[in-house]
Structure 1
Amino acid sequence: MGSTLCICSRGVITIENKRYLFIQKLGEGGFSYVDLVEGVHDGRFYALKRILCHDREDRKEALHEVEMHRLFNHPNVLTLEAHCMMEKGPKWEAWLLLPFVRGGTLWNEVEALRDKNAFLSEDRIFYILHGICLGLKAIHDQGYAHRDLKPTNVLLGDDDQPLLMDLGSMNHARIEVNGTRQAMAVQDWAAQRCTISYRAPELFNVSSSCVIDDRTDIWSLGCVLYSMMFGEGPYDMIFQKGDSVALAVQNSISIPENNRYSQGLQSLLSSMMVVNHMERPHISTILNHLEVLHPNVDGQATTRI
């Protein structure tokens, strides 16, 4: 679980026998905070994610996220540098030390361009999408699914290299549901851990006899691609207006008419956004289609707009 962590008055912390200087806060979510710290031993910047743990179940979930990180050593999955558990009175905090990625998230880039009435070029979309797919394939090949893929969970590193992060919702890719009680348990879990506007249709109304697999991520991948193409996710506005996303995802998606992107890219998007998950392609098929549509996608250089 890592070595004892101490905080000194000058903003120095120690994790696994290495010291880090607190620089500034980067952001916060519902149950976690992210700080920028600098390694005293190497001068590198890191992102320190602090997860608030109110009880034993929270601690278990935080350690699950650590375990998921430890499964991967892949250029498109964010690396966990170190971690520890810190006791704070009756509560605990799980501290995850992660690389600091200056480019921010994919959503930061999409939003910044949208505010300037600009969009990602097709070359950039292919390149970023290819990297996301490689990261997903690494996860799926280990028998897991991400379950919360969205633009805010994709970091953009140097040269637009995408890195999948926030692995706390990951679980086994294949879930066999037998019975109403299990179906409700899966549905309740998804409601808590899978962002509603990127959640696959099969997770809204879970059948009492079904198999859910890694193709929940393919639906979410389609939503991410849509956001790169059109500046927002296909169901973001529906959620913001308070309308039913659960109802909206049961209908075939309508792709806005545009001359900005090729028919091949639009067809790729349509192939991901299939309501019946058994008819969706697996990640290997998506990668094959990507590489046929854009043969040099892996080695191309990208230029930010």
Structure 2
Amino acid sequence: LNNVPVGMGQALCICSRGSITIDNKKYYFVQKLDEGGFSYVDLVEGAKDGQFYALKRILCHDRQARQEAQTEVEMHQMFNHPNILSLVAYAFSDSGGKTEAWLLLPFVRKGTLWSVLEKLRDKGSSMPENQILKIFRGICSGLKTIHDKGYAHRDLKPTNVLLDEEDRPVLMDLGSMNRARIEVRGSREAMTVQDWAAQRCTISYRAPELFNVESHCIIDERTDIWSLGCVLYCMMMLEGPYDLIFQKGDSVALAVQNPVTIPSTCSYSNGLQTLLSSIMVSNPQERPGVGWVLDQVQDLQSRSPNTQTNMV
């Protein structure tokens, strides 16, 4: 095992030894949960407490990647909110010139909002309106906390929302978060922001103003409001408004310039459909803030039968 090359091999080495130690506490590797471009998520069990955790390992291939991992840690530490994923512990592992960031996170058994929606779609079912409102209210609540601190999530989508057994949504993957207001001065800065968005903001949930960034403008937290609308649409229709356009290879950048069309087959209340239309506005200046959206959701909940109005 000692001959396994570091880098990706280091991760193999950890798993084959069966345990890792963070903050002097030992965790046993159980199984792989997910894999991304430069990160891996494993299910681990605390040797002392017997609790399950999600261990996110980020391979930092250069100094910038290490700084980005450090920023992700700091973003987690900034928030203490039931709708934002907390950070249990973290460590940076340096070996043979390679660095890995280890983020120990709570394990949410039910999985992502997307996995729940996929199961509904497979069954030919749909999500009841009061459940949509409950989950959406929690998402808005977490997002409002981020915006109130002067930050934006920048990659809000159903795969970045976890659901616990009580349907409480938890926002995760804070790696794309940055300051809410980005002042763009000149075409070079505009191109830098556009390139960054192309890398970090999922295309079918990306706000229109991030596809063609103007030379002199302010990008703000209302990019998240657009993504929030896409998430609401996905909960209602069981697919994102631009998923099919992207899958067909057509231009998402072009499609997002037009108002979103709600299918005539949509069986949800006029109130919910109106809320969706008011969120998904192409011009960011005309888009509402998350506080307004939250108020509308609470109003819809109070008018909706069989809806618990207690805070999520």
Structure 1 and Structure 2 fold alike (TM over 0.5): yes
- 2:287 alignment partner AA: R
Q: What is the root-mean-square deviation of aligned Cα atoms in Å?
A: 1.6
SS at match of 2:192: helix
Contact 2:113 2:158 in 1 (8 A): yes
Q: How much does 1:89 deviate?
A: 2.4
1:52 matched to 2:63? The reply is: no
Contact 1:87 1:93 in 2 (8 A): yes
* Number of the residue aligned with 2:117: 110
1:214 matched to 2:210? The reply is: no
Q: How much does 1:90 deviate?
A: 2.9
Q: TM-score, normalised by structure 2?
A: 0.92
1:281 matched to 2:252? The reply is: no
Tell me which of 296, 300, 303 is aligned to 1:293.
300
* Number of the residue aligned with 1:226: 233
Q: How much does 1:292 deviate?
A: 1.0
Query: Taking structure 1 as reference, are residues 43 and 214 closer, same or farther at Cα in structure 2, changes over 3 Å only?
Result: same
* Number of the residue aligned with 2:28: 21
1:187 matched to 2:194? The reply is: yes
Give ranges in structure 1 of 5+ residues lacking alignment: 1-5
* Number of the residue aligned with 2:139: 132
C-alpha distance in 2 between matches for 1:185 and 1:68:
22
- Number of aligned residue pairs: 297
CA deviations on 1:234-266 (whole Å, 9 max, x unpaired) are 001111111111111011111111352000000
* Number of the residue aligned with 1:272: 279
Q: How much does 1:298 deviate?
A: 3.9
Contact 1:291 1:297 in 2 (8 A): no
C-alpha distance in 2 between matches for 1:256 and 1:300:
30
- 2:253 alignment partner AA: A
- 1:299 alignment partner AA: N
C-alpha distance in 2 between matches for 1:249 and 1:241:
15
Contact 1:50 1:96 in 2 (8 A): yes
1:254 matched to 2:261? The reply is: yes
Query: Taking structure 1 as reference, are residues 82 and 246 closer, same or farther at Cα in structure 2, changes over 3 Å only?
Result: same
1:197 matched to 2:204? The reply is: yes
Contact 1:7 1:14 in 2 (8 A): no
CA deviations on 1:129-183 (whole Å, 9 max, x unpaired) are 0000000001000000000000000000121000000000000001111111111
Give ranges in structure 2 of 5+ residues lacking alignment: 1-12
- 1:283 alignment partner AA: V
SS at match of 2:166: helix
Query: Taking structure 1 as reference, are residues 196 and 130 closer, same or farther at Cα in structure 2, changes over 3 Å only?
Result: same
- 2:81 alignment partner AA: H
Query: Taking structure 1 as reference, are residues 182 and 116 closer, same or farther at Cα in structure 2, changes over 3 Å only?
Result: same
CA deviations on 1:62-106 (whole Å, 9 max, x unpaired) are 111001001000000000001111124232111100000001000
C-alpha distance in 2 between matches for 1:17 and 1:300:
37
SS at match of 1:92: strand
Contact 2:93 2:100 in 1 (8 A): yes
Q: How much does 1:10 deviate?
A: 4.0
Query: Taking structure 1 as reference, are residues 283 and 250 closer, same or farther at Cα in structure 2, changes over 3 Å only?
Result: same
Q: What is the identity percentage for the equivalent residue pairs of Structure 1 and Structure 2?
A: 68
Contact 2:15 2:29 in 1 (8 A): no
* Number of the residue aligned with 1:172: 179
Tell me which of 40, 62, 65 is aligned to 2:69.
62
C-alpha distance in 2 between matches for 1:241 and 1:267:
28
- 1:67 alignment partner AA: E
Q: How much does 1:7 deviate?
A: 4.6
